[in-house]
Amino acid sequence: MKLILFDIDGTLVLTGGAGSRSMTKAFSTVFGVDNAFQEVAMPGMTDPLIFEKAIKLHGLTWTEVDLARFKQLYFANLEREIVKPNPGKKVMPGMPALLELLDQEKTMVVGLLTGNWRQGAYIKLDHFGIWSYFRCGAFSDDHKLRKKLVTIAWRQCEQMIGQRISAKDIWIIGDTPLDIACARDNGAVAVAVATGTYSPSQLQAHKPDYCYDHLADFSDLLCALRNE
């Protein structure tokens, strides 16, 4: 059995900035700071670390109550923002056709490995009609460090299917160097796709096992998944 774990933003979908706008509004409401994430590099980061970086950048302190309120407002904002027309909002090339084919493969389990909080991930993927393809997953609710999420999704999948999966049969598909590092740290296969903010050459510099400009034609990836 193989476990294929997808990142969300820049890999599966683009929200046209709905996520960052929603966080910015929530942060402004809770802490009174406008454009709080302007200098925070978000790609590949988990939501808790994005939040903590903004807090540190602006010299603020926070409590668990503040975080809970921020999350509640973020999710409410995201539900409104995600439905607004935006030319930058789309499902990435090759999706959901690839997901549909993987879903039919009897020796593969499709899951999520994402820095999104689970509710944010659901809002985004449900909007684009692809949430149901993912049978398991790890979210930043589970751990704020991306590399720690692999074991969580891994064990969850093994429990679900009732058999062991080796690290070399875990494939992590993402659009940032952090996704590649996450795979490397766990002995998994790293698949980089340049549909986010990083170019193919920038991703290649981090030595993924596979690197694609996009997955509009996913025949090579599907062949590799079936044959390795």
Domains identified in the chain, total number: 2
Are residues 72 and 10 part of one domain? no
Are residues 196 and 100 part of one domain? yes
- Which of 225, 227, 198 shows the shortest CA–CA distance to 210? 225
Are residues 100 and 73 part of one domain? no
Task: Write out the residue range of the structural domain in which residue 119 sits.
Answer: 2-14+89-227
Are residues 208 and 156 part of one domain? yes
Please state the three-class secondary structure of 37-60 as a single string. CCCCCCCCCCHHHHHHHHHHHCCC
Residue 192's CATH number? 3.40.50.1000
- Which of 169, 150, 153, 165 shows the shortest CA–CA distance to 224? 169
Mean pLDDT of the chain: 97
Are residues 6 and 31 part of one domain? no
If you average pLDDT over residues 19-43, what whole number do you get? 97
pTM of the predicted model as reported, rounded to 2 decimal places: 0.96
Are residues 133 and 23 part of one domain? no
Are residues 69 and 128 part of one domain? no
37 has pLDDT over 80: yes
% pLDDT > 70, the chain: 100
Please tell me the predicted confidence (pLDDT) of residue 52: 97
Predicted confidence (pLDDT) per residue in 130-177, tens digit: 999 999 999 999 999 999 999 999 999 999 999 999 999 999 999 999
Q: Which two structure tokens, joined as six digits, stand for 43?
A: 């790609």
Of the three residues 53, 81, 109, the one that is the final residue of a domain is 81
If you average pLDDT over residues 189-211, what whole number do you get? 98
If you average pLDDT over residues 110-129, what whole number do you get? 98
Are residues 114 and 50 part of one domain? no
Please tell me the predicted confidence (pLDDT) of residue 48: 97
Of the three residues 33, 64, 81, the one that is the final residue of a domain is 81
Please tell me the predicted confidence (pLDDT) of residue 228: 74
